[in-house]
Structure 1
């Protein structure tokens, strides 16, 4: 159960959103954010005074100030908060459930707010079984090893080999430096098995292309 939410109706229908390219949040994943722009500082203040829910959405085409928003995002709850001496907020969002963007509300705040439809992703509120037999862990780890070897990188393999399937797949999906459309494909994958298959395919393709990337951080 995600943050005490049992069904889709338990989540707020109207939520603020933080459009950030290349960044996705997944259920029960943890996303650290460094907030410094005034409108988003305002958003965090308002969220902390309320239910602490923020929606992460990737921007699409449009203006830099007001880009179009991807149709699917994920709501997270602020589970860690700190303020720096220069006025920035360091927060951690823990993923609750994905949502479809039903509509955007007329601007009444410096930040954007949407009406979110959580019903299609109500199953996100329940964690999958830790022994999810649909996930090809060996195939995923083989693809990950090849991906990292092409970049001369490494991770904590003990953690990777023993982590529950959801924690492994979602943390890699969030942390690895894929392109925004690839991140969106991982976000929108229907099931954990589907996401594992998409992730394995992306790792295999990127390893073959010998691209560059950064060291992933296991969440």
Structure 2
């Protein structure tokens, strides 16, 4: 099993609003900007093959290029090149981290010194949600999807394990970036599920999600 001490202290940062990566989950990305192509090339040459996803801070709060303090690093597990030199990649979530400082340098992309402390659970086995009312959760999810005229494979959802179900929905659903950050920072799977339920219920009541978790 990988330990936090096995992870690098400095990671390349990919700030992408609304993009959420969680431990043990997979995030597909389309890479085409030159600076991120350079980041991908360097990540492929590194032993860890890590790229760290992080949300930019809300506009108007602090510095214009400020980042949230907590993100999640993923290992590059799949990539393919298109004919015009772009890449389709997949990151598999490894662990969340806390930013210590952003580093300057000659690279065209951003890098940060990070701490993996307090996120040891991310490197362990899949989490369980012992209080999970799956049938009630799926009824709420059905209402939410119906309200947005969305469809899904309900058989797969019903059979998915707790972590895969909750984390996949947290990543794919169209919440505000600050709400996505709240899902990322949830200390446990049950807390993330409770946050996800709150977001769906609030949306069904016609609330303004932008103000929900700020």
Q: TM-score when scaled to structure 2?
A: 0.90
Residue 25, structure 1, aligned to residue 21, structure 2: yes
Q: Which residue of 2 aligns with 1:217?
A: none
Instruction: Point out 4+ residue stretches in structure 1 off by more than 6 angstroms.
Output: none
SS at match of 1:54: strand
- Report how far residue 100 of structure 1 moved: 0.6
**RMSD, aligned CA:** 1.7
Q: Which residue of 2 aligns with 1:103?
A: 101
- Report how far residue 129 of structure 1 moved: 4.8
Q: Which residue of 2 aligns with 1:76?
A: 74
Residue 203, structure 1, aligned to residue 200, structure 2: yes
Say which of 15, 31, 36 aligns to 1:40: 36
Instruction: Give yes or no for contact 2:127–2:189 (8 Å, CA) kept in 1.
Output: no
SS at match of 1:59: coil
Deviation per CA, 1:53-80: give whole Å up to 9, x if none: 01000111469xx621111000000000
Equivalent residue runs for 1:1-219 within 5 Å: 1=1, 5=2, 7-50=3-46, 51-61=48-58, 67-129=65-127, 132-209=129-206
Q: Gaps spanning 5+ residues in structure 1: where? A: 212-219
- Report how far residue 139 of structure 1 moved: 3.0
Q: Gaps spanning 5+ residues in structure 2: where? A: 209-214
Q: TM-score when scaled to structure 1?
A: 0.88
Q: Distance in 2 between matches of 1:62 and 1:165?
A: 34
SS at match of 2:179: helix
SS at match of 1:119: coil
Q: Distance in 2 between matches of 1:107 and 1:134?
A: 47
- Report how far residue 151 of structure 1 moved: 1.4
